[in-house]
Amino acid sequence: MTTLAESLELATARLTTAGLAPSEARQSAWVLAGHVLGQDRASLVAMLRDELPAGFASAFDAAAARRASREPVAYITGRREFYGRPFIVTRDVLIPRPETELVVDESLACVRSLNGAPGLAIIDVGTGTGCLATTLALELGAAHVVATDTSAAALDVARANAAALGAADRVHFTRGSLVAGTAGPVDLVVSNPPYISDGDRRRLDPEVGVFEPAGALFAGPDGLDVIRALAPEAARVLRPGGWLVMEIGDGQADAVRHVIAGTGLLTVERIQPDLQHIPRVVVARRHARKSS
């Protein structure tokens, strides 16, 4: 009889051989076992010496084989938590990451500065899973959110997430680039845009470079093509006093400050670092008139 403990040990060894760090291999094995069994980690601990149910071995082996190919765990399980809520993920969308939760935190702080303005209007550019749009709709009960994406498949995922989490009535999904022709004015524009340079593609881990959608990752020679296009569009649709909150890449802070200043309508208020102390989220505000 093969126990769960033995299965986890074998899977961890297999994933380590495939190139994962031992700690990551072990974590992946546990998450995949929990996914196959429909159990949380505490329940798995209690089952370590138990006889495994019929069908577990083949299903777990298939999941481990996918992970050994370096497919991300979130694509195998079809779920990733963001801001305390479970989001559906597929290979059509970027996997939500913890640093993107900073965009939500900063957006909520910006909204507080608006002194509870009624009918809060938000645009989420490049929504992907819809994690920003849906989270802000749920955290801000009076908000109406327009979420854009150029990918029809990504929008299908985003709609499913909004429906599953109870935000479908306050998020409108639109296929198109940037603000997708929205006239405005709006109070808040948020985005986790593509910001990886084309030249960095070969240096990415396979989990990212091979499996995640290129359109959500890469943005030209310096990674700023989308940000250069987005900044003036955000400036156009934001009302005076409105906010742009946007994730950026490592080493891009100075260049993004320059791009935003170039709009003549936006001023960078702050750039918040992530937990690795990397400047990660730009917070800019729309002022009243174009500077001379």
Report, as an integer, the average pLDDT of 158-166: 98
The three-state DSSP-derived secondary structure of the chain is CCEHHHHHHHHHHHHHHCCCCHHHHHHHHHHHHHHHHCCCHHHHHHHCCCECCCCHHHHHHHHHHHHHCCCCHHHHHCEEEECCEEEECCCCCCCCCHHHHHHHHHHHHHHHHCCCCCCCEEEEECCCCCHHHHHHHHHCCCCEEEEEECCHHHHHHHHHHHHHCCCCCCEEEEECCCCCCCCCCEEEEEECCCCECHHHHHHCCHHHHCCCCHHHCECCCCCCHHHHHHHHHHHHHEEEEEEEEEECCCCCHHHHHHHHHCCCCEEEEEEEECCCCCEEEEEEEECCCCCC
Model confidence at 91, in pLDDT bands (50, 70, 90)? very high
| 173-214 pLDDT, tens digit each | 999 999 987 887 999 999 999 999 999 998 999 999 999 999
Q: What is the pTM of this model?
A: 0.92
| 10-42 pLDDT, tens digit each | 999 999 999 999 999 999 999 999 999 999 999
pLDDT recorded at residue 118 = 65
Report, as an integer, the average pLDDT of 78-99: 97
| 265-289 pLDDT, tens digit each | 999 999 999 999 999 999 999 997 6
Question: Could you tell me which CATH number the domain at 93-286 has?
Answer: 3.40.50.150
Domain range summary for the chain, segments of one domain joined by +: 4-69, 93-286
Report, as an integer, the average pLDDT of 90-94: 97
Report, as an integer, the average pLDDT of 248-254: 96
